[in-house]
Amino acid sequence: MDIINEFPDAIVKDVHWSIESIKSFQDEKVGKIEKSDFPISECTAIIQKDGIKGYTFKIILNKIYDYTYNQDLQKYGILDGIRLTINGSGYVIDADGAKNVEISLSDPQVLTLWIAHIQRGEISDFDKRLLRLVIPIKADPQMDLIEYSGLRIGSNYTPAGLIEVSFNKKSYHVFKYEHPNTDDNYLIIDGLEPDDFAMFQHNTIAIITAMGFVSGDLYLDEYFYHTLDKDENYKVDYMCYQQMEESAITNQAILDPLGFQQYVEATGQSRIVEQFGVDMKKAVFSSLCQKIAGSLEFSRCCKLMIEGNQSKQMLLRAGIYSIALETITGIINDQYEDKVNPIADKKLSKTIIDKMLSTLQEYDAFLDDYGLEILKSKLKNLNSPTNAKKLSKPFEIYGVNLTKEDLDILNHRNKFLHGTSPFSEDELPGKTLELGLIVARLWFLLNVLMLKYAGYSGHIKNLPALILFRRKKNPEESLYKII
């Protein structure tokens, strides 16, 4: 097959040097620490892969030091950052790069550092460069949830292989790669124009978080940042390794393109696909990334959803979802304050509150300080919606109609936040399915609100109905809903 002519519109990527760079870094390396006034000066150092994730950095000291050094690690010179040379290249372990330190009593004495961050080159070498993030992964990422493009790497073509993203005035390609000989999998993000390293890190984390929210799979573990030389077949000039938290692989995607298409075809509703498509459009995904990059609160909200998906304890899961509900409704209420508050006119609101505070002041002599402060606080917050309205109003703003059951479940959030459930302790052991359906409904409502906030219109999995369907019960609702 002539793959170039067969798939002329495929986006072409070259990953050879990136994969080789990672493999080379994973091999044991011996270097020499730069000269200084500390005991580690010009010592031999060995970098080794530490099991599945992470690296150890062993420093072989030139002599044995007394106990005073063990009591004050600063004396060794390992807490202010370490510079060394390996095969003619300069490496840096910054001050926060070591997670743990162990000191041997052997001769020669060895300092062992477990490192979470090391780079080849200076931080300045990563600025204004073409950058790439490579994440070794265990599971094949779901690329078909978002509008995709064909990908060609060497002689391999993948139809749903690459996602194009643009936000913060930057453009990125997100794609997957499976090594043909080792079956190692990678998720890769390329910047399409030179960028500053800090901005690239910030935006790529937003992309990974957005993908995690949509797919339910948040890829972390180990990140390899590369600077690329486009004129040298994308050869890697500098590399930065960063150990992250453990990945969260929940397989709890909020969309299901194939299942949705099969469902509408089986139910005679194919026209819906023509109107909305089956995946999230790249413009909407870019908007989602922008929202995450621009709001720490919304980013946390997405991560809370993934964290909740991981929990096997239904009450704990419901509690996490309830925190996310408080967060996203708070974000939307703040944005649409004029639509949420009982008095839309701020000047009128201030006039009424000032008048009531003035009236309250006339009764100062009859109230103690405690009571007076509470009443003042209540009056100052007079133009705020009730707790129930704070939860339901954001749905109304986005045109989402809530049933009585939906409202009841939203109002359960206070119980979940306090570790209790809608059922008594005696009832709870026999209400596993009922509780699971309530939590599934909470998951559904939360995702509806977060998707609408990002500007999405299209299908979403109706998890409560799907749970009933899988249990061979007949759900009253559609398995997928259009929002």
319 with 355, same domain: the answer is no
Reported as a pLDDT band with limits 50, 70 and 90, residue 2 is low
> What percentage of the chain has pLDDT greater than the value 70?
99
Single out the residue in 98, 120, 142 at which a domain terminates: 120
Return mean pLDDT, the chain.
92
- Give the domain range for residue 365: 348-380
**Distance between CA atoms of residues 404 and 387, nearest Å:** 16
55 with 200, same domain: the answer is no
197 with 334, same domain: the answer is no
| pLDDT at residue 1, as a whole number | 52
**Distance between CA atoms of residues 349 and 364, nearest Å:** 23
Q: 327-340: b or e for each residue (b if 16 or more CB lie within 10 Å)?
A: bbbebbbeeeeeeb
| pLDDT at residue 50, as a whole number | 86
**Distance between CA atoms of residues 424 and 473, nearest Å:** 25
Q: Is 357 exposed, middle or buried (0-12, 13-18, 19+ CB in 10 A)?
A: middle
DSSP H helices, 72-196, are none
131 with 165, same domain: the answer is yes
**Distance between CA atoms of residues 155 and 408, nearest Å:** 55
| pLDDT at residue 5, as a whole number | 64
Residue pLDDT, tens place only, 415-439 = 999 888 899 899 999 999 999 999 9
370 with 461, same domain: the answer is no
Residue pLDDT, tens place only, 286-337 = 999 999 999 999 999 999 999 999 999 999 999 999 999 999 999 999 999 8
| pLDDT at residue 353, as a whole number | 86
Q: Are 141 and 217 in contact (CB under 8 A)?
A: yes
More confident residue, 234 or 53: 234
Summarize the confidence of residues 83-89 as an average pLDDT.
95
159 with 228, same domain: the answer is yes
Single out the residue in 120, 152, 178 at which a domain terminates: 120
Residue pLDDT, tens place only, 341-397 = 888 778 888 889 889 988 988 888 888 889 888 888 888 888 777 788 889 999 999
What amino acid is encoded at 243 in this protein? Q
Residue pLDDT, tens place only, 262-287 = 999 999 999 999 999 999 999 999 99
Could you tell me how many residues make up the chain? 483
- Position 277 in a domain: no
- Position 266 in a domain: no
Q: Which of these, 212, 89, 94, 96, lies nearest to 145 by C-alpha position? A: 212
